[in-house]
Amino acid sequence: MTSPRRRRLVAGNWKMHRTGPEAVELIQQLRDGYTPGRAEVMVAPPFTALESASRALEGSGIALGAQNVHWEPQGAFTGEISAGMLRAVGCTFVIVGHSERRQLFGETDAWVSKKARAVLHAGMRPVVCIGETLADRDGGRTLEVCSSQLHGSLAGVAVEEMNHVVLAYEPVWAIGTGRNATPAQAQEVHAHVRELLVRLFGRPVGEAVRILYGGSVKADNAAELLGQADVDGALVGGASLKAQEFLAIVAAAT
């Protein structure tokens, strides 16, 4: 089971779903069924719903996250959002390097590193995503790809900052496909990532960093995935848009 030093985190990535009023409605459904417990819970609505969501979450014990960020504090970057803007609206987490950002929008490890450091410098916690494609897995390159992404995405992050970093392993082939890694496959990668963290940042830090699993996490597979020794929570996509499904995943983590 997860080390008692690592509090589980269940994070809901709403992606490009829910307007402000719709976000408030979903949050109210979550509040009706949620009792703060041992697991930490976060939801990440779209940018346009963050302010409404922030107000709706007040006093709930559920944290607010964002799905992306720019690394500069301000400037002529049309369409972008800074870490300071996200913190001002109430965010405490920011997802960086999600596979959809990498695959669809060309984000590189260097960009992810800049974003992670901007989030840290703004006093929030980055959820740094890594994961392989189906071609990578079929080619036996899963651990190689994840190692490379981890090195690049955490470049420049200081040892003392790692206490505020969350990692998420999300195999690209399991996102939105209905497929998911088996618990054994997830554990293999998570254990590899943890040992790499130990080598990079020392054993106390490497053993304390939370590593989430993301990729078609649902109520019916959450308990088995979360039962693995190095799986410290879940980054949930589609299932986080259904209150009862998401609450069942939260329950499996507590």
Write the CATH number for 123. Answer: 3.20.20.70
Residue 4 placed within a domain = no
Q: Which of 161, 170, 190, 245 is catalytic?
A: 170
Residues 139-197 have pLDDT tens digits of 999 999 999 999 999 999 999 999 999 999 999 888 777 677 899 999 999 999 999 99
Q: How many C-beta neighbours within 10 Å does residue 112 have?
A: 25
Residue 158 placed within a domain = yes
- C-alpha distance from residue 8 to each of 76, 87, 131 (Å): 38, 22, 20
Q: Which of 70, 98, 107, 190 is catalytic?
A: 98
Residue 171 placed within a domain = yes
- C-alpha distance from residue 3 to each of 36, 178, 182, 207, 221 (Å): 20, 29, 21, 8, 21
The CA angle 119-245-34, to the nearest 5 degrees, is 70
170 flagged as catalytic: yes
Domain tally for the chain? Answer: 1
pTM, two decimals, is: 0.96
Mean pLDDT over the full length of the chain: 95
Contacts of 161 (CB under 8 A, 6+ apart): 117, 120
Residue 225 placed within a domain = yes
Residue 2 placed within a domain = no
Residues 132-155 have pLDDT tens digits of 998 999 999 999 999 999 999 999
100 flagged as catalytic: no
Residue 3 placed within a domain = no
Tell me what pLDDT residue 2 has.
53
pLDDT higher than threshold 50 for residue 19: yes
What type of residue sits at position 25? E
Query: Residue 169's domain spans which residues?
Result: 9-252
Rounded to the nearest 10 degrees, what angle do helices 183-201 and 142-153 cross at?
A: 40
Tell me what pLDDT residue 3 has.
54
Residue 1 placed within a domain = no
